[in-house]
Amino acid sequence: MNGLESFRATWLGVLLFMAAVPVLNGCTTINGTVNLLQGIRLGDSASSIGLGSPQLFVLDGRGTCQSVNVDWGDGTIELNVAPVQGRRIEFETSNIETRYLRHVYSGWGGGKTVTVEGVGCEGKIRGRFNASPSERRIGWAQPAPPGTTGVCQTVAGLPGMILRMLVHVSLAPVTFSPTPGVTFRGINFGCFAWGCVHDADGRPGTVADSRFPFPGLREYSVVFRIGSQVVQGGTNVQFTTTASGPLEFCLNDGDNDLTNNQGGFDVTISVDQLGP
């Protein structure tokens, strides 16, 4: 290699090093400190989240962050959160209060996904937690109250749904007696000679036509509705929400009338808030 080639090789190496410096500086300061958000955990030695009261979370990492953006997974998003005003988040000092986050969960228990992204540092992390109660149980009885119109009902006090919730619903048919000495399980939809008594799965092998409120779904089955989202129900159903709003309990009833039915279900609902 002559002098000119050696000179070119040397400068090529310098240029490659200079090109790499901005990438390294994304997580390393001038003095060599790495600023990296690495995790989130429950504080106060808690093992699960309690509903209705402030819950303490602790951030973990290396170096410092200017602030963090937090998606709590329940529809609440907070931007540029700095727990101590005017201070950076300090991961490796005794100033642990700079790493504290607090949030109040309400409504549904079950799984919670917390997503945190560092500002002024590297790192985006997701934490998975559980809140009690993990499920809710309700009774769904027929006939519907007098004056009920349509084939869908809501339950007072049941929290609403948001996007990206994994919902699991099981419906156990209850036993009822339409006349002494005769018992059935599920719902009697009022057909002649008790010809349409079904559990939440409805009439097997059927596809409802336009005479039913939910054409294309099973006749006399349970249907769930959240805003514009319609889900085929059944004795054991799991789905992910694509809309927000109250959870409606519907019946694909051939006469579009819930006030002449008999029976009901014991309903168990659990949800998992999946986050973004």
Q: What is the pLDDT of residues 162-203, one digit of tens each?
A: 999 999 999 999 999 888 988 999 999 988 888 899 999 999
For residue 15, being part of any structural domain is answered with no
For residue 21, being part of any structural domain is answered with no
Over residues 209-237, the mean pLDDT reads: 98
Over residues 30-49, the mean pLDDT reads: 88
Cα separation, 16 vs 37, in Å, equals: 28
For residue 25, being part of any structural domain is answered with no
pLDDT range class, residue 36, cuts 50, 70, 90: very high
SS3 category, 216:
coil
Cα separation, 249 vs 39, in Å, equals: 39
pLDDT of residue 276: 84
Residues in the chain: 276
Cα separation, 55 vs 46, in Å, equals: 9
For residue 45, being part of any structural domain is answered with yes
SS3 category, 193:
helix
Q: 158 and 199, same structural domain?
A: yes
pLDDT range class, residue 27, cuts 50, 70, 90: low
Taking residue 274's Cβ as centre, other Cβ atoms within 10 Å add up to: 16
pLDDT range class, residue 205, cuts 50, 70, 90: very high
pLDDT of residue 59: 98
Q: 87 and 193, same structural domain?
A: no
pLDDT of residue 235: 98
Domain boundary among 83, 113, 131: 131
Q: 214 and 159, same structural domain?
A: yes
For residue 249, being part of any structural domain is answered with yes
For residue 24, being part of any structural domain is answered with no
SS3 category, 45:
coil
For residue 169, being part of any structural domain is answered with yes
pLDDT of residue 273: 95
Q: DSSP H helical segments within the chain, as ranges?
A: 3-25
Q: The pTM is what?
A: 0.83
Domain boundary among 131, 153, 172: 131
Burial of 232 (0-12, 13-18, 19+ CB in 10 A): middle
Burial of 78 (0-12, 13-18, 19+ CB in 10 A): middle
Average pLDDT of the chain is 89
Counting residues of the chain whose pLDDT is more than 70, the rounded percentage is: 88
Nearest to 203 by CA among 145, 191, 193: 191
Q: Is the peptide bond before 133 cis (omega within 30 degrees of 0)?
A: yes
Distances in whole angstroms, Cα of residue 251 to Cα of each of 1, 3, 133, 144, 270: 85, 87, 27, 11, 20
Residue 161 DSSP one-character state: B
Nearest to 268 by CA among 130, 111, 107, 138: 138
Q: 142 and 158, same structural domain?
A: yes
Q: Which helix (H) or strand (E) holds 15?
A: helix 3-25
How many domains, the chain?
2
Q: In which domain, by residue range, is 77 found? A: 36-131
Q: Say if residues 90 and 35 touch (Cβ distance below 8 Å).
A: no
Nearest to 108 by CA among 86, 93, 130, 141: 130
Cα separation, 134 vs 126, in Å, equals: 20
